Structure 1
């Protein structure tokens, strides 16, 4: 491809042809090297840049940055929103972001790494949305919330996420289960014990008590109690797919989950319905008692903030599974 253009160096019109050259782009401190196209004078070699020729290279540089940082492309964000059946405004409400911010991302703006991590976690595991709703549920009317919960539950079951497999006890014990297979009985009895010993017990606090109990037991004995996998969510470490797990207990009439007003929003409290079973050993019960003693009288907000300072939380990103190896640095003994 050639074109006649004026060349300042030759002092007249000459033939220019398209040539390739390597170019470095600096994107948020990251150097990206790509091949771009320029007009090159066939007489002296002078190069002229043209937006139509360099545009694809700039786009490729941004795409490479997205790949390196696991940042979704605009079409990926739109596709993710479509899976939840949400309008742009409703999706922004779920994420807790501004409408304009999400609109910009869907139209090509580069998301921050923090926002990208949330989107990546949501794409990998739809049940991550349950954790988001813990902080953004006040943005929704009841009917809207009910519909969203059903959609999230359906997506979670469709994707057959490993947390569902773990719930069915088909996962080998590993560092993310505390080196014990997941036990429905132990998880159930931990929930029943905590909810019977402290009333009212809000769901947010229960989830933190479960995490501290499993990790403290691992710190003391080298194994967890329930075999639950815990993930990093906005309100702190929580059992993976906790809404599914607690929902199963409610469906089986082991617990009752009851809405309760807290300030200007509705929280949920856990009410034991069934008697606790005998699956927990004396050592495991001792761990539960010590955890409850440590956090007796603490509110959900206080224990959540406290858990944010644990190394296990500080060293992981949104939606990531938390290795039990972090138990050695747990703030309680």
Structure 2
């Protein structure tokens, strides 16, 4: 029987699946683990199920010495909060939960596109503060979505799911940039640079993984190439966007608006963004449905159970 730590509360079925075969401890706090907690977790448990915010960086691994932990079964597809090379250097394997998050995250991208284009956040706030005097022909005029051009940066599972929804659901033209050649199976043009995509897009969505390779991938150079009527959407990782450059682009009117589900220094959100009516702000809701979080948890649990029973990894990273 292995000793397993789950670093956040999870749906009951996930914990039940693990406790059927192993000794499971569930951390009750919802905030990320402290450095001392992470160091202790690697010394005291055979497997840890961490998630976003649990920053298992190189310093944490350096401080452990000889770890007891053999596997970090990450709850989530993104694993940029884990220094995988440092983990492997101590013989600790890492897995994630690909596939489970695709549709929910794509749905949030569409939510942000529609909310920002149609000024839904502004309208909702207007009604809540009793500021609505009734319908008039020029009230809260937003942008039409159907038939516009979608630009996608990163045509992986999630990027493709977003583009598919926009193409088939809203008759949008699709252009995209991807590191490798991609044929998504529906009309979409691959362009050589992010700036080329930005220059054509009415809605520019970034859907790349986090990590050092994509940090500040979207910066003032990209916003400078974007059309002034365009709306920018980020559902990937906050550090993919240089937030100061985004604020500057919005302030100067280089882009018309933004829809954000993630932030460079979350949970901190700049006051400048919070003060802008043309910006839609969500609290990292990308995978926030019970069905999806359960599926993610069960996938992470399956990685743990298979590893402890057979020594094999289902979703290694």
Shorter-chain TM-score category? Answer: under 0.3
What TM-score results when the alignment is normalised by the length of structure 2?
0.26
* Structure of higher CA gyration radius: 1
Structure of greater relative contact order (alpha carbons < 8 Å, 6+ residues apart): 2
More strand by share: 1
What TM-score results when the alignment is normalised by the length of structure 1?
0.25
More helix by share: 1
